[in-house]
Amino acid sequence: MNTKEIRIALAGNPNCGKTTLFNALTGSNQFVGNWPGVTVEKKEGKLKKHEGVIITDLPGIYSLSPYTLEEVVARNYLLNDQVDVILNIVDGTNLERNLYLTTQLCELGIPVVMAINMMDIVKKNGDRIDVLELSNKLGIPIIEISALKGTGIQNVSDAVIKAAAYGKTASHHTFSDVVEHALAQIKEVALYDMPEEKQRWYALKLFERDEKILSLLKLNASIKAHIEKDIQNAEKELDDDAESIITNERYLYISSIIQNCYKKKTRGKLTTSDKIDKIVTNRFLALPIFVIVMFCVYYLSVSTIGTWATDWANDGLFGDGWHLLSIGSHDYDEAITNYAEEHVWTPPLITIIDQAVSADVTGAKEMKNAIIQQDYSAFDEAYHTYTDAFTKAGYDLSQMYNAVLGDDVNGVPEPSAYGIWIPGIPVMMNQILESIHTASWLQSLIVDGIIGGVGAVLGFVPQMIVLFLLLAFLEACGYMSRIAFVLDRIFRKFNLSGKSFIPMLIGTGCGVPGIMASRTIENESDRRMTIMTTTFIPCGAKLPIIAMIASALFHGAWWVAPSAYFIGIAAIVISGIMLKKTRMFAGDPAPFVMELPSYHMPTLTHLLRSMWERASSFIKKAGTIILLSSIVIWAGSVFGMVNGSFGFDLDMELENSMLGMLGNVVSWIFIPLGFGNIKATIATIMGLVAKEEVVGVFGVLDFEGMSQLAAYSFLCFNLLCAPCFAAIGAIRREMNSAKWTLFAIGYQCSFAYAVSLMIYQFGSLFTGEGHMSGLIFATLIFCFMIYMLFKPYKEFIKPRKTIRV
């Protein structure tokens, strides 16, 4: 093979399996960056077994028209870079729609190889594609593949290598005589000095009045006038505008060639996908089904499967330890329960708890219920959660607790005496550091700061893996495309764009690519509004916060995690309605075209790859940003005022530390929200660096007692307020304006504050925790939101239709 580097461009429609094919062709030989001058992700990789062959995965596009940034990026690469072969992947179940892009690629003067994907589904449906006949009609080699199942991949590799060596450019079809005459005139007048294989594509773009091509070619006024006259003559004769003429003739050509190449068994009948869609996209059933599906996703991730693994990670791997294969754990539970019945439930302790319940001390009811039910683990958890609340109320449980349950008390069952006990990482590290006589400050830094902070975050990785795996399945099987279609039908009732759902969907993994995905929205006001609201949806980094609150303060209640997801969606819809009624965001929403791929069962390899791509970025962040943040938090908690001067003390009271002083300065802001204490304030501030650090703070500083109402208010504020620094940077790049970025951050924080205030103050009507001034302020905000929601639009906007293809 020639030693010259061969460059392959992989092009296709969104949802055609392009990324799956790219992964199959390149394997692990991939590198990711950005396209020059823009933030669109650029993925390249080396073809397996061919070091000199580079494949570039172009953004998913429907055409080479310059309407979206993705289309501009893709066609600039094809026009300006030395591409040897275009590998065009098409969805065999949507052949006619996909061939529109193919006809444009064939006009670029570059060799084209087509890979028809999902052929397994085509055959399963009883449909037939005559690949040989189609290849003859289009004049390009065509390979049948199933990217998900990995069939035909080697044939694709061989075909692109052969096409690169042969160098034959693709054939192009012929338009009507009127159009061909106009194209010939344009080539003769303006493109005669251009390479012949490039002339036709540029002539077509000039005929379509493509502003970017006109600007690129720098034609003089007389040539432009000549071209315009040729275009007008064609438009007059064909009674249509130039762009529509080309579009219509392309589809006529496509229809003519597939007439004998593509036979659908179910022509005129409903396919399996259509039958499923009659239910999942039904006007009345679609939304309840979506709610049930997402409830199940978050229930499995946070309350069941994910929680079992996370409990092991938090309590075992990053905690005291665990029994290998659970051998001996049942015997230990029985022993600890028997000990608790004999020692913990003493009359003096019950008397204190009863007094605290009467005084309405936060957490007293939970502790009393644990005593009544003789549930040692619940009592132990409640004790550690609400100790500060009892101390502030004048009750000291620590002395009595230590007397009956402390580690130094003789007779307390040790887990290591039962089965095979494996100590957790903090315990093992403590033992190692003590054995080598490590300085106390370094031991504290490593165990309390680094392991405590990073471990608290990594402990929630199992839940994230379950969530990402389930979301990957919903995306790969085709369900999420239906939800975008369904939500657009709902969004458009409020003059919002259904295109906003795509960034939301991507944002469930990470807010940064979610924000970047907003560039597909052509309408500038809709795009800005989407950038501002996309991060309301819980991303992977916010899942640990949800899990921490759900487990620590709601005892794993099933409803906490799903409610957080739907609060994010509600925040997006409510914000969209209100912002659309302001001068800055008024106007027609962007039209929405969504391709609905056929349902199919994704492969395990594809799901695992998708899950790992999302989870690995989170783990990498834990090894960099979160590690550094944990060290900063630890240092801030041990440096401060010692005996009237600045100094270092491992046992320093939080109020005297640097973190405590910072928290004291700002904590008053959050008092109306129910969590105006130092630790919660510090956690919220650190959440701006990385949302995972909200959990990391409590991993280093221990959890401070909050009522369930205050905890839910804290959760909602941290879900809705300004995102992490990385996402703020993405907002700045996409907005391309410091002023708009500041406005976005200000709106996010203000909206989060308003929602949390209403939750806490209205909830306090039932718990008695709030204050009258806060309740009045929350009522005023609520009335303002209701007014904005039902306020009529200043201008009448013509309703639009959702286009389903």
Angstrom distances, CA of residue 564 to CA of 533, 538, 547, 764: 15, 7, 10, 20
| Among candidate residues 113, 112, 108, the one with its CA nearest the CA of residue 196 | 108
Q: Are residues 18 and 124 in the same domain?
A: yes
Q: Are residues 11 and 148 in the same domain?
A: yes
pLDDT band, very low/low/confident/very high, at 797 (cuts 50, 70, 90): very low
Contact 794, 586 (CB under 8 A): yes
| b/e 38-61 (16+ beta carbons within 10 angstroms → b) | bbbebbbbbbbebeebbbbbbbbb
Percent of the chain as helix, strand, coil, to the nearest 5: 65, 10, 30
Q: What is the pLDDT of residue 468?
A: 83
Q: What is the pLDDT of residue 400?
A: 56
Poorest-pLDDT segment among 410-419, 541-550, 583-592, 728-737: 583-592
Q: What is the pLDDT of residue 778?
A: 94
Residue ending a domain, choose from 400, 422, 444: 422
CA dihedral 569, 575, 580, 582 (to 10 degrees): 180
- Domain of 184, CATH number, reads 1.10.287.1770
Instruction: Pick left, alpha or beta for residue 321 (phi over 0 → left; psi -120 to 50 → alpha; otherwise beta).
Output: left
Which residues touch 417 (CB under 8 Å, ≥6 apart)? 332
Residue ending a domain, choose from 397, 422, 447: 422
Q: Are residues 152 and 57 in the same domain?
A: yes
Residue ending a domain, choose from 114, 143, 166: 166
Angstrom distances, CA of residue 384 to CA of 388, 553, 619, 652: 9, 11, 28, 19
| Residue 203 counted as domain residue | yes
| Residue 144 counted as domain residue | yes
Q: What is the pLDDT of residue 99?
A: 92
Query: What is the spatial distance between Cα 5 and Cα 486, in angstroms, rounded to a whole number?
Result: 46
Q: Angle at which helices 543-552 and 693-701 pack, to 10 degrees?
A: 40
Q: What are the residues facing 88 on neighbouring strands?
A: 11, 114
* pLDDT, tens only, 739-753: 999 999 999 999 999
Tell me the CB-side half-sphere exposure of residue 50, using CA atoms within 13 A. 22
Asked whether residue 514 carries a pLDDT value surpassing 90, the answer given is no
Residue 689 three-state SS: coil
Q: What is the pLDDT of residue 179?
A: 92
| Among candidate residues 9, 247, 217, the one with its CA nearest the CA of residue 110 | 9
Instruction: Find the domain containing 63 and state its range.
Output: 6-166
| Among candidate residues 391, 371, 392, 395, the one with its CA nearest the CA of residue 382 | 371
What is the domain count for the chain?
Answer: 3
Match 């060639």 to its residue by tokens.
257
* pLDDT, tens only, 546-584: 888 887 778 777 788 889 888 998 998 899 889 888 888
pLDDT band, very low/low/confident/very high, at 348 (cuts 50, 70, 90): low
- The helix or strand, by DSSP H or E, that contains position 681, with its residue range, turns out to be helix 678-686
Task: Work out the angle at residue 374's Cα, subtended by the Cα atoms of residues 369 and 378, and round it to the nearest 5 degrees.
Answer: 65
Q: What is the pLDDT of residue 39?
A: 46
Q: pLDDT > 70: what percent of the chain?
A: 86
Asked whether residue 297 carries a pLDDT value surpassing 50, the answer given is yes
Poorest-pLDDT segment among 395-404, 468-477, 679-688, 705-714: 395-404
* pLDDT, tens only, 201-229: 899 999 988 888 888 888 888 998 999 99
Residue 680 amino acid letter: A
Q: What is the pLDDT of residue 42?
A: 72
Mean pLDDT of 499-521: 75
Q: Are residues 208 and 241 in the same domain?
A: yes
Contact 86, 114 (CB under 8 A): no
Q: What is the pLDDT of residue 741?
A: 93
- The helix or strand, by DSSP H or E, that contains position 30, with its residue range, turns out to be strand 30-34
> In this structure, are strands 593-594 and 421-423 parallel, antiparallel, or unpaired?
unpaired
| Among candidate residues 648, 644, 683, 689, the one with its CA nearest the CA of residue 666 | 683
Asked whether residue 723 carries a pLDDT value surpassing 60, the answer given is yes
| Residue 785 counted as domain residue | no
Q: pLDDT > 90: what percent of the chain?
A: 19
Q: Angle at which helices 376-392 and 398-405 pack, to 10 degrees?
A: 160
Mean of the per-residue pLDDT values of the chain? 82
Contact 324, 420 (CB under 8 A): yes
Query: Phi then psi for 151, rounded to 5 degrees?
Result: -90, 140
| Residue 673 counted as domain residue | no
* pLDDT, tens only, 86-136: 999 999 888 888 999 999 999 988 999 999 998 888 888 888 899 999 999
| Residue 608 counted as domain residue | no
The encoded tokens of residue 193 equal 């000095």
Q: What is the pLDDT of residue 759?
A: 95
Q: What is the pLDDT of residue 341?
A: 64
| Residue 404 counted as domain residue | yes
Poorest-pLDDT segment among 314-318, 399-403, 566-570, 721-725: 399-403
The sheet that has 41-46: what strands, in order across it? Answer: 30-34, 41-46, 53-57, 6-12, 85-91, 112-117, 142-144
Residue 24 three-state SS: helix
Asked whether residue 64 carries a pLDDT value surpassing 70, the answer given is yes
* pLDDT, tens only, 755-779: 999 999 999 998 878 788 989 999 9
Q: Are residues 10 and 152 in the same domain?
A: yes
Asked whether residue 796 carries a pLDDT value surpassing 50, the answer given is no
Contact 213, 197 (CB under 8 A): no
Asked whether residue 802 carries a pLDDT value surpassing 50, the answer given is no
The encoded tokens of residue 435 equal 């054995």
Query: What is the spatial distance between Cα 640 and Cα 656, in angstroms, rounded to a whole number?
Result: 6
Q: Are residues 333 and 406 in the same domain?
A: yes
Q: Are residues 104 and 187 in the same domain?
A: no
Poorest-pLDDT segment among 32-46, 64-78, 232-246: 32-46
Q: Are residues 19 and 145 in the same domain?
A: yes
Higher pLDDT, 740 or 624: 740
Q: What is the pLDDT of residue 520?
A: 65
Q: Are residues 389 and 257 in the same domain?
A: no
Contact 63, 205 (CB under 8 A): no
Asked whether residue 592 carries a pLDDT value surpassing 80, the answer given is no
| Residue 564 counted as domain residue | no
Query: Phi then psi for 33, rounded to 5 degrees?
Result: -150, -155
| Residue 142 counted as domain residue | yes
Asked whether residue 694 carries a pLDDT value surpassing 80, the answer given is yes
The encoded tokens of residue 52 equal 């000199």
Contact 518, 734 (CB under 8 A): yes
Poorest-pLDDT segment among 531-540, 565-574, 606-615, 710-719: 606-615
Mean pLDDT of 630-659: 83
Mean pLDDT of 401-410: 52
- The helix or strand, by DSSP H or E, that contains position 323, with its residue range, turns out to be strand 321-323
Residue 195 three-state SS: coil
Q: What are the residues facing 804 on neighbouring strands?
A: 594
Q: Are residues 71 and 143 in the same domain?
A: yes
Higher pLDDT, 436 or 410: 436
Q: Are residues 124 and 212 in the same domain?
A: no
214: DSSP letter: H
Give the number of residues written for the chain. Answer: 805
Q: What is the pLDDT of residue 113?
A: 95
- Domain of 149, CATH number, reads 3.40.50.300
Q: Are residues 246 and 100 in the same domain?
A: no
